[in-house]
């Protein structure tokens, strides 16, 4: 990812977050070499069989000559998940592993990138250590302060933080680890040196001084009162820290899953998880599957993600998991600053910095004497400029296109600069992240203050001094973007509409919390990584108020339905889309003390093809008094996900229009008696007359309004006023870095496109590579080898019937298949089952939903549907003979999210193909193709499409290429497919 040097606290906040680094340009995604296998339930519940199962898996791999190593149990909570993980280095490991009778699923281990915090703008404060009332603005904003003022601080509640570990020595975090300390439990799964690919070195102590992210999150949740004048949401909770990252780089979802299971075993009541990867579909990853299962029994809160600039349909896993609470972010209503004083009239000003500048009195040195200069320090400084190590250097932000802050900084460093006051070109607060300042202390000031300092400097004949305060006390001042959805906060919805993402909003923009002592003890940061632990703390407060036996489903409903809708960023009266704010900003007080409960808390209306107009909600009154309600509709702005004639979605802020759904109710008002349940039927009609090419996403709130405090509720609804199946899957725009058009046929050697009829030797890295970028999600991507003279006919988009498929529905009759079937059985099928080869393909229903436990790669021995897909696929497409799949059935790319603007992905053809139309597809061998000329047909199944209907795919045909091996195939068949 490109470094983000500057951040406008008012609008442009952005966090690196905890997401895999995209494959950019030539950065192709490598195939996994590590897998997790899950045992079938009857074995998972038998702890005595664990060692025996492990040995059987090892013996099975040995029998098939499959190299393997580093076998680890994954069974600390067998009622949730039981299995093992291992490195496998042979061909088709999934297929081999699935042949073990007691294995239920096989999951590839996926990478998870290191979490990052955006260091936000500091400004001034009225907080006092030991104050009687909670005045910390992020708490006041969501009514945590009301609960703490009444004495609720999560005593007796166990909260698990799964992150980078924590600096347990921090005075505000209890100064220790283990029984009797605030952080009482935990585990280090990886060790300091782990980078996501090497062998982890676990131990029982999760404490580390390199845990910037985890220490900040721990403080949000549980910090004691301190000299900065704030405390965590749950200062009396018993905390657990589970370290899943080393000091640098990344981890994987196997480690995250292991941490979830360990925390569950250790008795955590609430889980805070700031981990994510591109998703968009439920149950896509191992971590998502495990989190979803735990969420049925314990409260699991997950950050929604920090890539809001990518626009709609960018939900992340595991926040997409069934039952988990996905949390987005709003900006804090106040900012925090530090102070400096000038020798001119002793005037005091605010400056914005992640950490305070070094205290002391320094002479000021404006780097340019020109009044209206726009290029301060953009060139190497002249000899007349002195050594600047003893000065506070005043530098104006460059307004020239080729001069950025790193350019200015490089020139200033040559003169020994140690401290900078960087003058913004507007009145908005801003900061420079510490990792972007090369060790130089940088404070940011507004344009007005900068102009004043310059004027006073020249007025005082260059004798102006700056005194940096030694007082750590900060001041809270009103933020210009207070309460708005943070620009970095991810948009939904999911492609299968299973879970609202985000579900709710917490305060995640510009939040003060703890930091490792060696890194300054306290810092201000932004991200959904910050709002998620705040909401996890609110969940713990609910358990504190109502008892630890409250089921997770009730906790989720309480938090969601008590939310307050948020207006859009542009200050108009249109409410922000539900797919960016969920149920709105949480209200901890009402979530805890409401005596009425509503279900469900969200209604997914799907697209126009799968639209369901009628839904019902239920409300139960657990209070001792009757409550009267009025039922209202609060529409949110309809978000235009795409611009017409553009492939990739609109970036933040996604444009909103006042085109609303029509909503009617079976009753408009009612009174509910104590212990009574009332049902309300709701009828929806999606907005009409909108441009389907813009994929309009409409949404809003159903409000149950009453005058009784905390008994009003907001339920969300959302849908798409177009057919999702009409949205193109492939992006045909330019690559991110190298300025060529995607999709592309690349060389595995250079990572760049090759000309027509390029010859591949299949030696070393000299393989054909299909590079592509998805503009929209796809349930299934297929890559098939076809003859070099193949021409792709026009696909009859949105056709309900497909004459091509009817005409060419010959399951096992083709020139390539004849060649395949002519091979000896031992060359094409392993243990072929009698009678299965002639079985006809089964149809499948539209893929609009899928089960949460279907996250693994299911490989069946029959033609029964697999993970919502048919057990076999056709060997024709629009009359084109498919010679064979580049990928085996088990490794087909299912449930694909869309890519970001800087991302791409790739599939390599290694010279062998698979027959995915065969009835025993998981037992078919890879067949090397003869040398010759070919093309590769890429197909993307459209959202809600049927995998057996050709018109439900979007297709792209590669340029022709040749295979000419440096070493000829043994017994190469001279007859090439026609």
Percent above pLDDT 70 for the chain: 82
Of 68-82, 154-168, 916-930, the poorest mean pLDDT is in 916-930
Neighbours of 655 (CB within 10 A): 14
Annotated catalytic residue, options 213, 580, 918, 921: 213
In the structure encoding, which two tokens stand for residue 643, read together? 């611009």
Print burial letters for 178-203: b (CB count within 10 Å at least 16), e (below 16).
eeeebbbbbbbbbbeebebeeebebe
Above 60 in pLDDT, residue 552? Answer: yes
Among 187-201, 423-437, 824-838, the range of highest mean pLDDT: 187-201
Mean pLDDT within 174-199: 96
pLDDT of residue 678: 98
Above 90 in pLDDT, residue 610? Answer: yes
pLDDT of residue 331: 92
Above 60 in pLDDT, residue 224? Answer: yes
pLDDT of residue 892: 85
Report pLDDT digits (tens) over 328-358. 999 988 777 788 999 988 888 988 876 778 8
pLDDT of residue 291: 94
Above 50 in pLDDT, residue 799? Answer: no
Of 618-627, 848-857, 917-926, the poorest mean pLDDT is in 848-857
Of 551-560, 746-755, 919-928, the poorest mean pLDDT is in 919-928
pLDDT of residue 487: 93
Helix (H, G, I), strand (E, B) or coil at 590: helix
899 catalytically annotated: no
CATH 3.50.30.30 fits 334-478, yes or no: yes
Annotated catalytic residue, options 75, 163, 867, 952: 163
- Asked if 395 and 420 touch (Cβ cutoff 8 Å), the reply is yes
33 catalytically annotated: no
Report pLDDT digits (tens) over 929-967. 999 999 999 999 999 999 989 999 999 999 999 999 988
Q: Is 933 exposed, middle or buried (0-12, 13-18, 19+ CB in 10 A)?
A: middle
345-to-155, 321, 456, 465, 772 alpha-carbon distances in Å: 51, 59, 10, 11, 62
Report pLDDT digits (tens) over 383-402. 999 999 999 999 999 988 88
Report pLDDT digits (tens) over 101-129. 889 888 888 888 777 665 433 323 334 44
Above 70 in pLDDT, residue 171? Answer: yes
Above 60 in pLDDT, residue 411? Answer: yes
Q: Is 520 left (phi over 0), alpha (psi -120 to 50) or beta?
A: left
Mean pLDDT within 418-436: 75
Query: How far is 177 from 206, CA to CA, in rounded Å?
Result: 9
pLDDT of residue 48: 61
Q: Is 921 exposed, middle or buried (0-12, 13-18, 19+ CB in 10 A)?
A: buried
Query: How far is 365 from 344, CA to CA, in rounded Å?
Result: 15
Above 50 in pLDDT, residue 188? Answer: yes
Of 932, 744, 641, 860, nearest to 106 (Cα)? 860
> How far from the centroid of its chain's Cα atoms is residue 880's Cα?
38
Instruction: Give me the chain's average pLDDT, please.
Output: 84
Mean pLDDT within 896-914: 93
Mean pLDDT within 503-523: 91
- Higher-confidence residue of 506 and 809: namely 506
Above 90 in pLDDT, residue 686? Answer: yes
Report pLDDT digits (tens) over 842-888. 333 333 333 333 333 332 222 333 445 555 688 899 999 999 999 88
pLDDT of residue 450: 93
DSSP 635-697: EEEEEE-S-TT-SSPPPSSPPEE----EEEES-SEEEE-TT-EEEEEEEEEPPPS--GGG-EE
Q: Which CATH class is domain 594-644+654-722?
A: mainly beta
Domain regions of the chain by residue span: 33-108, 334-478, 594-644+654-722, 744-963
Of 23-32, 443-452, 569-578, the poorest mean pLDDT is in 23-32
163 catalytically annotated: yes
Above 50 in pLDDT, residue 801? Answer: no
Mean pLDDT within 163-178: 97
- Asked if 486 and 13 touch (Cβ cutoff 8 Å), the reply is yes
Above 60 in pLDDT, residue 727? Answer: yes
First-residue to last-residue Cα distance in the chain: 45
Mean pLDDT within 354-377: 88
Of 929, 952, 961, 900, nearest to 744 (Cα)? 961
- Orientation angle between helical segments 552-561 and 528-546, nearest 10 degrees: 120
Q: How confident is the model at residue 835 (pLDDT cuts 50, 70, 90)?
A: very low
pLDDT of residue 113: 78
User: pTM score, two decimals?
Assistant: 0.84
CATH 3.30.70.260 fits 33-108, yes or no: yes
> How far from the centroid of its chain's Cα atoms is residue 582's Cα?
16
Report pLDDT digits (tens) over 667-680. 999 999 999 999 99
Annotated catalytic residue, options 285, 521, 529, 836: 529
Of 197-211, 526-540, 595-609, 835-849, the poorest mean pLDDT is in 835-849
Mean pLDDT within 466-495: 82
Q: How confident is the model at residue 744 (pLDDT cuts 50, 70, 90)?
A: very high
What's the helix, strand, coil split of the chain in %, to 5? Answer: 20, 30, 55
Query: How far is 177 from 185, CA to CA, in rounded Å?
Result: 7
Above 80 in pLDDT, residue 787? Answer: yes
DSSP 384-406: TS---TTSEEEEEPP-STT--HH
């Amino acid at each position: 990812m490109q470094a983000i040097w500057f951040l406008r606290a008012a609008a442009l906040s952005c966090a690196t977050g905890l997401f895999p680094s995209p494959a950019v340009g030539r950065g192709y995604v490598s195939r996994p070499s590590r897998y997790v296998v899950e045992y079938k339930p009857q074995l998972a519940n038998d702890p005595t069989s664990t060692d025996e199962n492990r040995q059987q898996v090892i013996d099975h791999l040995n029998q098939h000559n499959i190299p393997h190593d580093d076998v680890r149990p994954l069974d600390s909570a067998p009622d949730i998940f039981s299995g093992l993980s291992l490195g496998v280095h042979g061909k088709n490991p999934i297929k081999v592993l699935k042949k073990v009778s007691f294995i239920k699923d096989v999951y590839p281990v996926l990478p998870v990138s290191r979490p990052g915090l955006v260091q936000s703008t500091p400004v001034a404060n009225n907080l006092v250590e030991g104050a009687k009332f909670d005045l910390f603005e992020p708490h006041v904003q969501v009514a945590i302060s009301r609960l703490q003022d009444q004495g609720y601080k999560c005593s007796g509640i166990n909260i698990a933080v799964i992150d980078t570990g924590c600096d347990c020595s921090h005075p505000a975090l209890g100064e220790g680890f283990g029984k009797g300390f605030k952080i009482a439990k935990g585990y280090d799964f990886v060790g300091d040196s782990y980078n996501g690919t090497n062998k982890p070195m676990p131990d029982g102590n999760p404490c580390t001084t390199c845990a910037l992210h985890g220490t900040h999150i721990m403080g949000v949740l549980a910090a004691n009162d301190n000299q900065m004048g704030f405390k965590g949401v749950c200062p009396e909770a018993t905390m657990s820290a589970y370290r899943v990252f080393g000091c640098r780089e990344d981890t994987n979802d196997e480690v995250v899953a292991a941490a979830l299971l360990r925390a569950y075993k250790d008795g955590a009541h609430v889980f805070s998880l700031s981990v994510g990867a591109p998703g968009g579909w439920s149950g896509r990853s191992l971590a998502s599957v495990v989190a979803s299962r735990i969420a049925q029994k314990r409260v699991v809160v997950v950050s929604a993600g920090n890539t809001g600039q990518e626009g709609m349909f960018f939900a992340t896993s595991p926040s997409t998991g069934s039952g988990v609470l996905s949390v987005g972010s709003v900006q804090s209503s106040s900012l925090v600053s530090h102070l400096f004083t000038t020798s001119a009239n002793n005037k005091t000003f605010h400056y914005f910095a992640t950490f305070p500048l070094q205290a002391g009195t320094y002479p000021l040195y404006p780097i340019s004497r020109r009044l209206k200069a726009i290029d301060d320090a953009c060139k190497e400084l002249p000899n007349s400029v002195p050594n600047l190590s003893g000065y506070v250097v005043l530098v104006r932000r460059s307004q020239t296109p080729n001069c950025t802050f790193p350019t200015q900084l490089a020139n200033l460093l040559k003169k020994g600069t140690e401290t900078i006051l960087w003058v913004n070109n507007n009145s908005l607060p801003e900061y420079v992240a510490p990792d972007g300042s090369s060790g130089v202390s940088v404070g940011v000031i507004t344009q007005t203050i900068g102009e004043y300092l310059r004027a006073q400097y020249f007025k005082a004949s260059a004798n102006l001094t700056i005194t940096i305060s030694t007082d750590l006390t900060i001041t809270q001042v009103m933020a210009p973007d207070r309460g708005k959805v943070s620009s970095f906060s991810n948009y939904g919805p999911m492609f299968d509409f299973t879970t609202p993402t985000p579900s709710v909003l917490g305060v995640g923009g510009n939040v003060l919390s703890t930091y490792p002592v060696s890194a300054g003890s306290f810092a201000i940061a932004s991200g959904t990584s910050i709002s998620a632990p705040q909401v996890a703390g609110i969940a713990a407060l609910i358990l504190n108020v109502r008892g630890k036996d409250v089921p997770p489903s009730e906790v989720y409903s309480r938090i969601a339905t008590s939310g307050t809708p948020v207006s859009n960023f542009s200050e108009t009266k249109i409410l922000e889309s539900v797919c960016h704010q969920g149920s709105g900003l949480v209200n901890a007080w009402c979530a805890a003390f409401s005596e009425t409960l509503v279900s469900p808390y969200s209604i997914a209306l799907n697209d126009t093809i799968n639209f369901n107009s009628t839904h019902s909600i239920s409300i139960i009154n657990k209070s001792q008094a009757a409550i009267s309600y009025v039922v209202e509709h609060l529409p949110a702005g309809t978000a235009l996900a795409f611009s017409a004639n553009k492939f990739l979605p609109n970036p933040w802020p996604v444009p909103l229009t006042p085109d609303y759904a029509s909503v009617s109710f079976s009753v408009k008002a009612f009174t509910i008696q104590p212990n009574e349940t009332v049902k309300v039927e709701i009828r929806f009609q999606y907005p009409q007359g909108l441009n389907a090419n813009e994929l309009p996403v409409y949404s809003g709130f159903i409000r149950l309004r009453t005058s009784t405090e905390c008994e009003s509720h907001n339920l969300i609804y959302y849908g798409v006023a177009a057919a999702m199946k009409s949205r193109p899957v492939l992006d045909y725009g330019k690559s991110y870095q190298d300025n060529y058009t995607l999709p592309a046929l690349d060389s595995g050697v250079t990572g760049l496109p090759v000309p027509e009829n390029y010859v591949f030797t299949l030696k070393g890295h000299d393989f054909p590579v299909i590079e592509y970028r998805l503009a929209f999600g796809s349930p299934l991507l297929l890559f098939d080898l076809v003859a070099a003279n193949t021409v792709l006919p026009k696909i009859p988009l949105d056709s309900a019937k497909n004459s091509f498929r009817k005409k060419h529905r010959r399951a096992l009759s083709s020139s390539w298949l004849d060649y395949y079937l002519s091979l000896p059985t031992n060359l094409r099928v392993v243990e072929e089952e009698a009678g299965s080869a002639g079985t006809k393909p089964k149809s499948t229903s539209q893929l609009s939903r899928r089960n949460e436990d279907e996250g693994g790669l299911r490989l069946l021995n029959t033609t029964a549907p697999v993970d919502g897909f048919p057990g076999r696929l056709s060997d024709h497409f629009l009359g084109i003979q498919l010679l064979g799949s580049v990928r085996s059935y088990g490794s087909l790319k299912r449930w694909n999210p869309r890519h970001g603007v800087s991302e791409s992905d790739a599939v390599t053809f290694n010279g062998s193909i698979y027959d995915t139309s065969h009835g025993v597809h998981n037992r078919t061998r890879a067949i090397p193709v003869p040398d010759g000329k070919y093309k590769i047909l890429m197909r993307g199944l459209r959202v809600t499409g049927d995998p057996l209907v050709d018109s439900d795919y979007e297709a792209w045909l590669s340029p022709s290429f040749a295979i000419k091996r440096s070493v000829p195939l043994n017994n190469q068949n001279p007859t090439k497919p026609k």
